[in-house]
Amino acid sequence: MPLLNMDAVHPITAPDGTVITNTVYLQNVIDHPRISVGAYSYASNFMPQTNWAQTLAPYLFPISQEKLMIGKFCQFAHGTTFITSSANHPMGGFSTYPFRVFRPETMIDYIKLPHRDTVVGHDVWIGHGAMIMPGVTIGSGAIIASGAVVTKDVAPYTIVGGNPAQVIRQRFSDEIISDLLEIKWWDWPIERIEAHLTAIEGADVAALKVA
């Protein structure tokens, strides 16, 4: 029996049979025109949520111009928040007050503010209460420490933390990172992934190269 079921809404079941409703596969609970999520990426919250798109990206609206793009096998802890470009205020004048947002006929002016997509690679772990600022790209295999405020791009397989987030360390050597980005195990069929879990969990890149 496979470990993972891509079609599940709540993918974790306790040994006593209790379904853990605090954790969801995001692909199966988010229907938002500006958000895309890869298979098996999940989020957890201390309380079950009814609107996961709003929980993760509260400023991303259907009329927004930017997108939030999330890869496969990502893991988002409680309090992960993406502050997308639609949260911005105009900063070119003497006031940042959003005067025009209070009338429907002038609200459209805010769509014209500068915007950038936020991109999360594959197999990214974002810790408790981390905040990702607009337009950031997080490389595959990166780890974002709890409480981090990420204001700039994060390289693949890099651990960052703090406010603003700074590099703590690189997880593997440049050579191994290059190999992993070429192997792209996250794009394999799930049967192949699970057949080679020992190599993935054991950081055996040589075994993955011939898998």
Kindly list the catalytic residues.
89
**Which amino acid appears at position 114 of this protein?**
P
Burial of 22 (0-12, 13-18, 19+ CB in 10 A): middle
CA distances from 171 to 65, 157, 174, 186, 201 (A): 34, 5, 9, 18, 14
Find the Cα–Cα–Cα–Cα dihedral 111, 113, 114, 115, rounded to 10°. Answer: -30
User: Is 104 in a helix, a strand, or coil?
Assistant: helix
Quick one: DSSP state of residue 111?
A: G
Residues 169 and 154: beta-carbon distance below 8 Å: no
Other CB atoms closer than 10 Å to residue 65's CB: what's the count?
Answer: 17
Burial of 102 (0-12, 13-18, 19+ CB in 10 A): exposed
